[in-house]
Structure formats: C-alpha cells, structure tokens
Amino acid sequence: MTDVRRPQRADARRNFDALLVAARESFAVNGTDASLEDIARRAGVGIGTLYRNFPTRQDLVEAVYVEEVSQLGEVAKAVADLPPWEALAAWLDRFVGYVATKRAVVEALNRESEIFRSCRVLIYDAGAPIFLRAQEAGEVRDDASFDDLVRMVSGLSSAAFVDTEQRDRVLGFALSGLRVRA
C-alpha cells in the first residue's frame, strides 16, 4: 500500500518495527510534527536508520497508519474462533486503539489518497464479518449495521476522557445498547 517496505534481514526488521512503535507513541503525544530525531532515539536507532526506512515524514506517517490497519486484520483472524460477541468485543478493543492512532495522524493523511481508501476497505473486510457473525447469532441488534458501529465507536473514542477506564466504561454503555439481551 505504501512505497515503504519492511526489510528482510531480522536486525533491519527489528529497527523498522521499533521505529513504527516509537512513531506511533510520539505521534499520539505530539502529533505528526513530532521530532524525527526523538522518534529515532525512542526506537534506539540513529536518524540515518530512520531516513533509510522512511525517506520522508509522510512515508513514516503512512506506514504507522497502514500498520495499525494491518493489525486490525490480524486481530480479526485471531478472534475468529471465539464466540460471536466475544470476538466482536475483542476486535473492537483493538479498533479503539486504531482510532486513537488515526486521530493522531489524520491531519497528515490525504483522505482522498489511495492509501486512505484502501485502509478503509481493509477495516471493513476485517470487522464486518465478525459483526455479521455476532448479528446472525442473535447477539447484535438487527437494525444496526457495521458502518453504524464503526461511526459510533470512532466518535466515542475520539472524545476526551479522564482516563482509559472512563473511556472503556462509556464504550461499554454504548455497546450494551447494541447487544441483544435474552
């Protein structure tokens, strides 16, 4: 999806992954204008290693975003064998983390770009089957759609909360309105 590719050598891959983690954390705190030198330092690498992997700031921002979306797909696979509601709740837990990263990098992303559109498709491809399985199992209201859920969770996750416990509690209130009770 991006021009940036994960290196093949194990040591280079570790550096690449460490840069993504450091960038995600730094962007969450400081926005996408975060110091690239600070990101390299957090990752335990030199600035040259950062630029070798991510020639531009935009490359780094896009790579962080694409990595977050890829993780949503991995979580979807990992939870596939859980009971329907548990699978949906587990996937949504990771989706909340994605929303936080998206909020941090969205100003640097072109919403009309192919990357942005492709990532949206990947998110829906990962989450919609989990949602539909929960709905078909009678766990989720029939009048709800996956798009409704994405918008609800995105909106709630982007609000300012006192702490993660409050965020999780408020999200729980919203999800209980989505769930069918026997």
What is the pTM (predicted TM-score) of this model?
A: 0.79
String of DSSP letters for 32-95: TT--HHHHHHHHTS-HHHHHHH-SSHHHHHHHHHHHHHHHHHHHHHHTTTS-HHHHHHHHHHHH
Give percent of the chain above pLDDT 70: 91
The better pLDDT of the pair 100, 36 is held by 36
Domains of the chain are 10-178 (1.10.357.10)
* pLDDT tens-place string over residues 53-81: 999 998 898 899 888 888 899 999 999 99
